[in-house]
Amino acid sequence: MTVRKKTALIVFVVISLFLSFNLLMDYFYVLGSLEDLEIDEGEKSLKRAVLAIDRDLEHLSLFCYDWAEWDDSYRFIEDRNEAFINSNLSENTFLHNHLALLFFINKSGQVVWGRCYNEELEEFISIAEFSGQKWSTAHPLLQHSRNDSVVKGYMQTSTGVLMLASRPIIPTSAYGDIRGTLIMGRLICDRCIELMRERTQLDMEIWSMSDETLLSFDCHAKDQLQAGTATHIVRNQDWIFGYTVLDDIYSRPVLLLRTKAWRTIYKRSRDGILVEMLCTLLSAIIVGFLISYLLYRSVSRPLACFVKLISGIGASEDMQQIDIHPENDEIACLQREFNQMVQRLHDDARKRESVEVDLRVSEARLSAVLDAAPDGILTIDAAGMIKTVNLAAVEMFGYEAGYLPGKSIFLLSASQRRTLLKEEIKKFHKDPESSVFSLGVEVSGVRQDGSHILLHCKIGRVEIEGADRFICIVRDVSGLKEIHEKLMRTKHLASIGEMGASIAHEIRNPLAGISGAVQALTEMSSVEHSEYEILIEINRLTGCIEETVCQMLEYAKDWQPEPRLTSIVDLINETISVYSRQADLQNTTINVKGSAEIRALVDPELISQVLVNLMANAVAACGGRHGVLLWSVEKSLREVYITLQDNGSGIDGDLQKSVFKPFYTTRENGNGLGLAICQKIIERHNGNIALESEVNVGTKVTIVLPKSKFLKT
């Protein structure tokens, strides 16, 4: 797009924004203010209408007060004289004062005198709500505790809505007891509403809330007011309506009041704004054309000449200087600056190419060194964010190559150690020599799959571009740790085995002599019954010692498995068959789950010995109750799992760590070598054995044999 078109577009956009802003201000602010003003006027009109009807109610209350504070009315409550009725309670009283209701009621609620009058029919009528001769003293119109009290309001009746006022009947002096209540009422009719219109100069309507002739929008306003809104303003194209409700003496909505006003202010203002917008649009178009022409003359055309001069440079591969424009103006100054810039760019380009070559060589050398390093190397900033990682660190933690940069270093640490790690990094940032990271420390790392690895971590600090960077070198020492622990455990177990073998050889000869002597004594006829039982117990105990000695010798053996291809499920079934002939399994159910096609290179005799030992422990754990044993055999791509699950008494969590230790047992007659022998046999197969247990639920033993000893089936 040319500068000329851009200039025209900018002028168009600016004028459009100006017009849009002006339109929005007029539409939302000016018209909105006028609408708010109309709403205020509507609410004021509504208040004037409410005051007008309240004023009529107040006039009725004052008229009622004049009658109630009258000695003749005070005496009439007691004597009910006909003279008072004939002179004051005639039809003219109702007609001249526009009364629809007049009642005298004594303190006990008895109607002394009361009549209802229809002004349009000019005759007395009966109103169902005021037909009784005895009123309840709890009636709202009879609640007068003081001489100056007043009750006024509205009431829906079968004849229509009445405007009511109630005053206590007292002497003219205002001193004396209250003898009763005077109630006056006027019917809110068309004549009453028309008088209010004349006084207020408002177009107003009053309906009963139960009126069924209301229009739909009037009904909608009534629903809004019944929902709790004090006033409701409605506008259409030409009118603005204001609604409110008046409550009766029971505090229930009884009258719907509406005012209506012509929207003169809004319509005239809207027409004026429309004329203003048309004039503004015409002025903006003229100004836009004028600005575009002036910009073209002073900017666009000179720039077009400059572009034409340098267009040849863009077509060539090399940036060349251009001829200076002969006129001494800004364009000529721009051309001179352009030529100087071209010269500087040529010089900078030569320097940059040389530096880039050196930098690429240095980066390639550094990247090769880092990727060839066997340890993981990470650079992090002062906030703990990873900047770079080498190939060894990526492989160590199992993430993709580009994932770790930009992540927090705490992503690679165990959650329970992150707080301590943060404190150590802060300490290292302040004083590197006081932190354990300066010398190197073992920490727990977390791989992407959630597994933990043991790392040796050492951190150094460097300054890059004025900011501190930390070089973190980590080495996976999990394998070394595991090998070290396994070596120490093997040495320990070998020492125990050698010691056990020595002790076993020393014990067996004396034990054989004791057993022979006891056997000889039991065969003598002179041995009494009590002595015979003691000899039998000695013989049993020597047998237990002999069994323990044999177990110690078994544990001391250096087993060398002779593996051959064996079906694990068939081996389990054969072991169960042999074991069932040696032990009572009437209260035990044994199930085997797995495919006979799962085969492994194992020593069947040694593995069978492990299976028998595990099965004996499971049966003993069931403790005589009905036991359920489940053998299951499964395989993965590279491993085979042999699991035995029982429903026995289980083992406490603190004791589970010691069950594979030699001479540790939870059974009363056990020697603590069975599981230790099982572990040794499995380790000779390059596998491992683990135990999980829950008290009163059962125990699960899992044997895992590695891939090097199995064939894929």
Which residue type, as a one-letter code, is found at position 161?
V
Contact 73, 104 (CB under 8 A): yes
Tens of pLDDT, residue by residue over 490-528, are 665 556 555 655 665 556 566 666 766 666 666 665 666
Among the residues of 474-565, which ranges form H helices? 478-523, 529-556
Give the contacts of 604 (CB within 8 A, at least 6 positions apart). Answer: 564, 566, 571
Q: What is the pLDDT of residue 515?
A: 67
Residue identified by tokens 């594979």 is 660
CB of 387 within 8 A of CB of 469? yes
Q: What is the layout of strands, in order, in the sheet containing 376-381?
A: 386-389, 376-381, 467-476, 452-464, 441-446
Tokens of 673: 């070598």
For residue 499, what pLDDT is reported? 60
Orientation of helix 31-68 relative to helix 190-200, angle to 10°: 120
- CA distance linking residue 543 with residue 546, whole number of Å: 5
Task: Decide yes or no: CATH 3.30.450.20 for domain 69-192.
Answer: yes
Residue 384 above 80 pLDDT? no
Helix (H, G, I), strand (E, B) or coil at 407: coil
Of residues 443 and 16, more confidently modeled: 16
Give 560-709's CATH code, choosing from 3.30.565.10, 2.70.98.90, 3.30.1180.20, 1.10.579.10. 3.30.565.10
pLDDT of residue 702: 92
Q: How remote is the C-alpha of 338 from its chain's centroid?
A: 59
Indicate the CATH number of 373-476 among 2.60.40.10, 3.20.20.140, 3.40.50.720, 3.30.450.20: 3.30.450.20
Task: Give yes or no for residue 707 having a pLDDT over 60.
Answer: no
Q: What is the CB neighbour count within 10 angstroms for residue 285?
A: 12
pLDDT higher than 50, residue 188: yes
Task: Tell me: pLDDT of 631 over 60.
Answer: yes
Residue with more model confidence, 445 or 302: 445
Going by their DSSP bridges, the two strands 627-635 and 588-593 should be labelled as parallel
Q: Hey, what are 296's tokens? A: 């073209």
End-to-end CA distance of the chain: 71
pTM score of the predicted model:
0.40
Residues 85-112 pLDDT 10s: 999 999 999 999 999 999 999 999 999 9
In terms of C-beta density within 10 A (0-12 exposed, 13-18 middle, 19 or more buried), how is residue 321 classed?
middle
Please, is 101 exposed, middle or buried when counting C-beta atoms within 10 Å of its C-beta (0-12, 13-18, 19+)?
buried
Phi, psi of 167 (to 5 degrees): -135, 150
The pLDDT value recorded for residue 396 is 81
Burial of 227 (0-12, 13-18, 19+ CB in 10 A): exposed
Given a contact cutoff of 8 angstroms between Cβ atoms, the answer to whether 127 and 116 are in contact is yes
Higher per-residue confidence, 658 vs 155: 155
Better pLDDT: 502 or 473? 473
Q: Please give the pLDDT value at position 712.
A: 39
Residues 637, 260: Cα–Cα separation, whole Å = 87
Lowest mean pLDDT among 228-237, 323-332, 560-569, 584-593: 323-332
Least Cα distance to 555 among 675, 701, 655, 658 occurs for 675
The mean per-residue pLDDT over the stretch 281-310 comes to 75
* Full DSSP string of 491-511: HHHHHHHHHHHHHHHHHHHHH
